[in-house]
Amino acid sequence: MDRVRRGELPWLKLDALHRMILDELLVRFGLRLSEREKRDLNNAWHRLRPWPDARPGLARLKRRHCIGTLSNGNVGLLVDMARHARLPWDCILSAELFRRYKPDPEVYRGAAELLGLAPSEVMLVAAHKDDLAAARRCGLKTAFVRRPLEHGPAARPDLADDPRCTINADDFLDLARRLGA
């Protein structure tokens, strides 16, 4: 994504970037897969299981708020992910719509505009503090949701409250409670 953002690569959907990375890894490790196996492996992103709190937390949030995703994932990937995981999003907003990747400001401001809202009327919820910081710079409210296993069991993510965020939450159920849902 950074190479696209810097202009070293033309705009590519995230699925295409994932495939480029997969092809490079297969060569690096001397692995051979059929084209069908490569497609299936690359599409694993479309079949991710949700965090255990995601469905119930999102369902509670949806009672009081419009909920959706704002992701660097392309629309097709996000639709498949939502259907596979039964996520109750009201809308799917993708960086693909803006032909830019987060943290480019056009993505955050464009999402608010598509919703017919001022940036200050939108809250970005994420486990990634750099994403939240970029959203704040564009005037969005932010909620940090701790995901201790986001990068695997060996990772040591920064799980401390971010005082710059509107809300810090342990998971989506905690976020729903904090937002009165």
Residue 166 burial (CB count, 10 A): 17
- The answer to whether residues 19 and 71 belong to one domain is no
- The answer to whether residues 36 and 72 belong to one domain is no
- The answer to whether residues 134 and 164 belong to one domain is yes
What is the pLDDT at residue 117?
A: 98
- The answer to whether residues 92 and 158 belong to one domain is yes
- The answer to whether residues 34 and 69 belong to one domain is no
pLDDT 10s digits, 44-90: 999 999 999 999 999 999 999 999 999 999 999 999 999 999 999 99
E strand map for 20-140: 68-71, 91-94, 123-126
- Please identify every stretch of the chain with a pLDDT value under 70, giving residue numbers as ranges: none
The two structure tokens encoding residue 168: 């810090």
Domain count, the chain: 2
- The answer to whether residues 103 and 19 belong to one domain is no
Find tokens 């810097």 and name the residue. Answer: 6
- Residues of the domain holding 36: 2-46
CATH code, 92: 3.40.50.1000
| Among the listed residues 177, 96, 169, 91, the one whose alpha carbon sits nearest the alpha carbon of residue 127 | 169
CA distances 60 to 57, 63, 114, Å, are 5, 5, 24
- The answer to whether residues 155 and 122 belong to one domain is yes
Find tokens 């079949």 and name the residue. Answer: 47
- The answer to whether residues 115 and 69 belong to one domain is yes
What is the pLDDT at residue 62?
A: 97
CATH code, 28: 1.10.150.240
- The answer to whether residues 36 and 110 belong to one domain is no
What is the pLDDT at residue 111?
A: 98
The amino acid that residue 104 corresponds to is D
